[in-house]
Amino acid sequence: MATYKQLQEYIKNKHQRIVKSCWIADAKEKLGLPVKPSYHRSQGQQRKYPCPDDILPIIREALEHFDDL
């Protein structure tokens, strides 16, 4: 499983986009992948910065690159 830093670097190098780690966590959750609980938010609380719809395919491609999907 790739780290968030590895995913961010891959996306930055390939797509010239900077993604937030919270976007990666939201994308992983939407794709049904395991995400560690955050101590910053309560159980069931919505994310403050959800992954934008145009970034989701980029994160998905990065996860597929690292065989995490």
For the segment 29-69, what is each residue's pLDDT rounded down to a tens digit? 999 999 888 777 777 778 889 999 999 999 999 999 999 88
Task: Identify which has the larger pLDDT, 1 or 9.
Answer: 9
The span from the CA of 42 to the CA of 52, in Å, is 22
CA distance 23 to 52: 8
Q: What is the pLDDT of residue 45?
A: 79
Helix ranges, 1-69 (H): 4-15, 21-30, 56-65
Write phi, then psi, for 17 (nearest 5 degrees).
-125, 145
Number of domains observed in the structure of the chain: 1
Per the structure, the complete domain to which residue 25 belongs is given by 4-65
Measured CA distances, 51 to 7, 21, 24, 60 (Å): 14, 10, 7, 11
